[in-house]
Amino acid sequence: MSKGVRLAAAVTLVVSLVPTQPTAGGLGDRNHLHTELAALASAHPGRVGICVQDPTSPPICVNGEQRFSLQSVMKLVVAAAVMRAVDERRVALSDRVTVRREDLSVNIQPIADIVSERGSFETSLGDLLRRAVVESDSAATDMLISRLGGTKAIQAFLGESGLHGIRIDRTERELQTETDGLRWTPKFVFPERLEQARKEVAEAKRQAAFEAYLTDPRDTASPRGMVGFLHKLAAGQLLSASSTAHLLEVMKKTVTFPDRLRAGVPSGWTIGHKTGTSRTRNGINGVTNDVGILTAPDGRHVAVAAFVAESRTGNEERAAMIAAAARAITAAYE
């Protein structure tokens, strides 16, 4: 045996004795997972869209191109736009902000209780971002949008980032009042005046406004577009490393609707997410959403976007469908 042959044999032996490194984790039987998600969607009495994407493969989608109202999921997109502004040194999370009565919005806004008690509330831009994502505070969100220059600035951020299939057209003030057949007016910062105005809208007009909302392309996303946003965020392709880490940490603290994606995530996994929910009218819920980034025990991220629109079931059934999707996704990871 020649010296060269002996050397080659020795190298082969050494290589064979080295333990094989495990393949990086990801979604396993993709066809089976798609079948499971499609079955969940078809069994639900409503319109369902789900997309999931692991770090290295294309997304798996059911009704991935259809449009769904974002509702409060838009607050996560706004938060990402703020973090981009931080990266570009246009704002800082430490910037001081004063919230006054005229800055309040509608519906869910815990910050309104502080303003009602104190008359005004001084805080930071970073605190507003946390409140928008973690508590789904609409006043905090609308102030962030204003600070960035309006919803056109949010849409510009999406375009500059190469993200498609997501639209942010209105503030929470505008969206929530238009859905009830109203137009935003400053007097609505007083909740009792807003509720009185809602009561004065004719039933036929409110129903027409709700039906128009269900088909309105504004303030919507496709599951594919949303999972693309989440995938880029998790991969560090959207923001700087520090801003990515900060936003992912904020998302992990979300307290709204733990019975959706979070309920389907097994022990050993973690989740950062954002929920969104519309009103239910005449037995039809406009939309129930949850989008997030699941982190497997091996540290790799899986982006998930789940939307349930025009559902004729109750809160628990809609949440259970989303949780079941999370269970199917995590079970498919290997």
Q: Tell me the per-residue pLDDT of 181-195, one tens digit each, with 9 for 90 and over.
A: 999 999 999 999 999
- Whether residue 101 is contained in a domain is answered as yes
pLDDT in tens, 225-252: 999 999 999 999 999 999 999 999 999 9
Q: What is the 3-state secondary structure (H, E, C) of the chain?
A: CCHHHHHHHHHHHHHHHCCCCCCCCCECCHHHHHHHHHHHHHHCCCEEEEEEECCCCCCEEECCCCCEECHHHHHHHHHHHHHHHHHCCCCCCCCEEEEEHHHCCCCCCCHHHHHHHHCEEEEEHHHHHHHHHHCCCHHHHHHHHHHHCCHHHHHHHHHHCCCCCECCCCCHHHHHHHHCCCCCCHHHHCHHHHHHHHHHCCHHHHHHHHHHHHHCCCCEECHHHHHHHHHHHHCCCCCCHHHHHHHHHHHHCCCCCCCCHHHHCCCCCEEEEEEEECCEECCEEEEEEEEEEEECCCCCEEEEEEEEEEECCCHHHHHHHHHHHHHHHHHHEC
The string of pLDDT tens digits covering residues 198-231 is: 999 999 999 999 999 999 999 999 999 999 999 9
Residue 10 within a domain: no
Decide if 106 contacts 172 (C-beta within 8 A): yes
Quote the domain boundaries for residue 307: 26-332
Residue 59 · residue 26 · CB < 8 Å: no
| Structural domain contains residue 17 | no
Residue 19 lies in a domain: no
Q: What is the per-residue pLDDT for 3?
A: 43
Of residues 252 and 14, the one with the higher pLDDT is 252
Q: What is the mean pLDDT of the chain?
A: 93
Side-chain-side CA neighbours of 73 within 13 Å: the count stands at 32
pLDDT over threshold 80, residue 7: no
CATH of the domain at 240: 3.40.710.10
pLDDT in tens, 150-177: 999 999 999 999 999 999 999 999 999 9
Amino acid symbol at 271? I
- Look at residue 6 and tell me if it is in a domain: no
Q: What is the token pair recorded at 41?
A: 């969607």
User: What is the chain's Cα-based Rg?
Assistant: 23
Number of domains in the chain: 1
Q: Are 85 and 114 in contact (CB under 8 A)?
A: no
22: alpha, beta or left, given left = phi > 0 and alpha = psi -120 to 50? beta
CA 179 to chain centre: 21
Which among 98, 219, 87, 76 has a CA at the least distance from the CA of 147?
98
With bands split at pLDDT 50, 70 and 90, how would you rate the model's confidence at 25? confident
pLDDT digits (tens, 9 = 90+) for 256-292: 999 999 999 999 999 999 999 999 999 999 999 999 9
- The residues that bridge with 99 in the sheet, in sequence order, are 121
Alpha carbons 142 and 147: distance in angstroms, whole number: 9
Q: What is the pLDDT of residue 24?
A: 64
Report the percentage of the chain scoring pLDDT > 90.
93
Question: Tell me, what's the pLDDT at 107?
Answer: 92
> Token digits for 205?
């007009």
Q: Nearest to residue 275, comparing CAs of 247, 295, 304, 234? A: 304
Does 8 map to a domain?
A: no
Residue 5 lies in a domain: no
Q: Averaged over 106-130, what is the pLDDT?
A: 96
C-beta atoms surrounding 1 within 10 Å:
7
